[in-house]
């Protein structure tokens, strides 16, 4: 059950039949070409979508999307951040979007190396602007690992959106390792996961994600195993975080268990982590309507000493108290 739940970190809403066979509007299936590409040290090039700031930018946010998602993950959140003067740099993570990789998954070390090199690319292109790393779900693990791997200069901040920073535990990990040895390319989709799970209440954004040609529908055992290694590596590195961090999660998240979030918080340096439990929020924080997470992010960056607009910091305090008294 833990393995099947793990599959749903993003793919639980992605089920057959193929999107092209269902009625949809052209805008929902629009292909947005990459704005540029970042040359990486192994000779590959990461496609990047730029969401430009309105006016002169006064900050850069390098983003990492979740499992199965793409550089288009930030379409809902980007406008509010752009209006506030932040340029969003959104690469496709290796193995997703327009950045395919052999076997459907790279390696943890290579994915961290990509993120570090993409961070350096941003620092070289905008040396005088503050740089923030932001990641959702799987992307949160990549952002955290990049922040703990980077030598100086470090990013100015780390923003984790429902990060998949956890382990699936035993005997599940051993079973998954054995499964990977036998049939690594066995295909898995959200249809394999029992029960009904809601990734976001924003139906419009969910339809766009489903019909987006860059969305990866389904996965395989090898990629699932790789994801568990990435997540557990990030959990090990949580105590090593040295960057001010905003941690946002939804109180209705059905994919990252509350126990995993609680363990992450316990291992995090308390003086560096600002906690934000988004009321009525689901797993896909990037698709939340009404700019709620974006307003919290802007407030945290520009006025870190103030309460967050969503009330999520107060909600997080209450949540922690309830978790500790169980």
pTM confidence score: 0.93
Helix axes 312-324, 258-267, angle to 10 degrees: 100
Helix axes 138-149, 108-125, angle to 10 degrees: 70
**Calpha distance 208→226 (Å, rounded):** 27
Span 65-116, pLDDT tens digits: 999 999 999 999 999 999 999 999 999 999 999 998 876 899 999 999 999 9
**Calpha distance 255→285 (Å, rounded):** 12
**Calpha distance 189→30 (Å, rounded):** 23
Tokens representing 188 are 């898995």
Provide CB contacts within 8 A for 93, sequence distance 6+. 64, 65, 99, 111, 114, 138, 139, 142
State residue 7's pLDDT score.
Answer: 46
Say what percent of the chain tops pLDDT 90: 79
Q: What is the DSSP string of 145-204?
A: HHHHHPPSSPPSEEEEES-------TTHHHHHHHHHHH-TT-EE-GGGS-S---S-S-HH
State residue 144's pLDDT score.
Answer: 98
Span 167-221, pLDDT tens digits: 999 999 999 999 999 999 888 876 555 566 789 989 999 999 999 999 998 889 9
Q: Give the chain's end-to-end CA distance (angstroms, integer).
A: 24
Distances (CA, A) of 235 to 168, 170, 260, 300: 11, 16, 10, 24
Q: Print burial letters for 134-153: b (CB count within 10 Å at least 16), e (below 16).
A: bbbbbbbbbbbbbbbebeee
Provide CB contacts within 8 A for 208, sequence distance 6+. 27, 28, 72, 75
Question: What residue spans define the domains of the chain?
Answer: 2-324
Mean pLDDT value of segment 31-54: 97
Angle at 214 between CA 211 and CA 219, to 5 degrees: 95
Mean pLDDT value of segment 250-255: 93
| pLDDT above 70 for 5 | no
Provide CB contacts within 8 A for 235, sequence distance 6+. 165, 166, 167, 263, 264, 267
- Kindly indicate whether the domain formed by 2-324 is annotated with CATH number 3.40.50.1820: yes
State residue 108's pLDDT score.
Answer: 95
């Amino acid at each position: 059950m833990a393995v099947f739940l793990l599959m749903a970190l993003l793919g639980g809403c992605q089920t057959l039949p193929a999107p092209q066979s269902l009625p949809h509007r052209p805008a929902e299936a629009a292909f947005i070409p990459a704005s540029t590409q970042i040359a990486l040290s192994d000779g590959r090039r990461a496609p990047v979508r730029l969401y430009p700031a309105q006016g002169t930018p006064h900050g850069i946010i390098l983003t990492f999307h979740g499992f199965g998602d793409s550089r288009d993950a930030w379409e809902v959140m980007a406008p509010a951040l752009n209006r506030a003067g932040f340029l969003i740099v959104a690469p496709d993570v290796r193995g997703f979007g327009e950045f395919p990789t052999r076997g459907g998954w790279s390696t943890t070390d290579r994915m961290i190396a990509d993120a570090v090199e993409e961070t350096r690319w941003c620092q070289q292109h905008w040396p005088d602007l503050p740089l923030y790393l932001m990641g959702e779900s799987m992307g949160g693990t990549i952002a955290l690992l990049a922040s703990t791997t980077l030598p100086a200069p470090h990013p100015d901040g780390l923003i984790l959106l429902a990060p998949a920073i956890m382990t699936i535990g035993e005997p599940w990990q051993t079973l998954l390792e054995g499964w990977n040895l036998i049939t690594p390319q066995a295909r898995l989709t959200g249809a394999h996961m029992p029960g009904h799970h809601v990734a976001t209440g924003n139906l419009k954004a969910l339809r766009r994600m489903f019909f987006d040609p860059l969305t990866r529908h389904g996965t395989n055992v090898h990629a699932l195993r790789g994801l568990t290694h990435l997540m557990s590596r990030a959990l090990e590195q949580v105590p090593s975080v040295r960057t001010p961090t905003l941690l946002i999660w939804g109180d209705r998240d059905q994919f990252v268990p509350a126990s995993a979030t609680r363990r992450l918080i316990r291992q995090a340096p308390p003086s560096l982590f600002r906690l934000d439990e988004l009321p009525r929020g689901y797993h896909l924080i990037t698709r939340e309507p009404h700019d709620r997470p974006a307003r919290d992010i802007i407030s945290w960056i520009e006025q870190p000493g103030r309460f967050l607009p969503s009330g999520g910091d107060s909600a997080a305090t209450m949540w922690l108290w309830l978790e500790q008294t169980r």
